[in-house]
Structure 1
Amino acid sequence: MVKLNKIYTRTGDGGSAGLVDGSRVSKSSLRMAAIGEVDEANAAIGVAIAALQQGEVADRLRRIQNDLFDLGADVATPGEIDGALRIVAGQVERLEREIDDMNASLGALTSFILPSGSAAVSALHLARTVARRAERAAVALHESDPLNPQLIAYLNRLSDTLFVAARFVAAQEGGDVLWQPGATRR
Structure 2
Amino acid sequence: MKIYTKTGDKGQTSLIGGNRVYKSDLRIESYGTIDELNSWLGLLVEYLPKDHKEEVKQIQQLLFAIGAMLASKSTEQKRPFTVIQKEDVEALEKNIDYYENLLPSMTHFILPGGSKASAQTHIARCVCRRAERIIVQLSSLEHVDLLLLAFINRLSDYLFCLARAFSHWEGSEEIKWIPNK
Instruction: Indicate whether 1:49 and 2:69 are aligned.
Output: no
Instruction: Indicate whether 1:128 and 2:122 are aligned.
Output: no
9-18 or 155-164, which deviates more: 9-18
Cα shift at 1:82: 4.5
CA contact (8 A) 1:135 1:152 kept: yes
Residue-by-residue CA offset, 1:23-66 (whole Å, 9 max, x unaligned)? 1111111111101111111111122223x154233332111111
Amino acid at match of 1:103: E
Taking the TM superposition and a 5 Å limit, the aligned residue runs for 1:106-145 are 106-145=103-142
CA contact (8 A) 2:115 2:166 kept: no
Counterpart position of 1:79 = 74
Cα distance in 2, alignment partners of residues 34 and 146 from structure 1? 13
The higher radius of gyration belongs to: 1
Cα distance in 2, alignment partners of residues 170 and 101 from structure 1? 15
Cα distance in 2, alignment partners of residues 153 and 63 from structure 1? 17
Percent sequence identity over matched residues? 39
Counterpart position of 2:102 = 105
Secondary structure in 1 matching 2:21:
strand
CA RMSD of aligned residues (A): 1.5
Structure 1 residue ranges (4+ consecutive) displaced by more than 3 angstroms after TM superposition: none
Gapped runs of 5+ residues in structure 1? none
Instruction: Indicate whether 1:151 and 2:148 are aligned.
Output: yes
1:59 to 41, 54, 63: 54
Gapped runs of 5+ residues in structure 2? none
Secondary structure in 2 matching 1:21:
coil
Cα distance in 1, alignment partners of residues 53 and 38 from structure 2? 13
- Number of equivalences: 178
Amino acid at match of 1:73: A
Instruction: Indicate whether 1:10 and 2:32 are aligned.
Output: no
81-90 or 102-111, which deviates more: 81-90
Cα distance in 2, alignment partners of residues 55 and 36 from structure 1? 29
TM-score normalized by structure 1? 0.89
Cα distance in 1, alignment partners of residues 127 and 57 from structure 2? 17
Secondary structure in 1 matching 2:13:
strand
CA contact (8 A) 2:34 2:131 kept: yes
Cα distance in 1, alignment partners of residues 129 and 53 from structure 2? 20
Amino acid at match of 1:88: Q
Secondary structure in 2 matching 1:17:
strand
Cα distance in 1, alignment partners of residues 55 and 115 from structure 2? 19
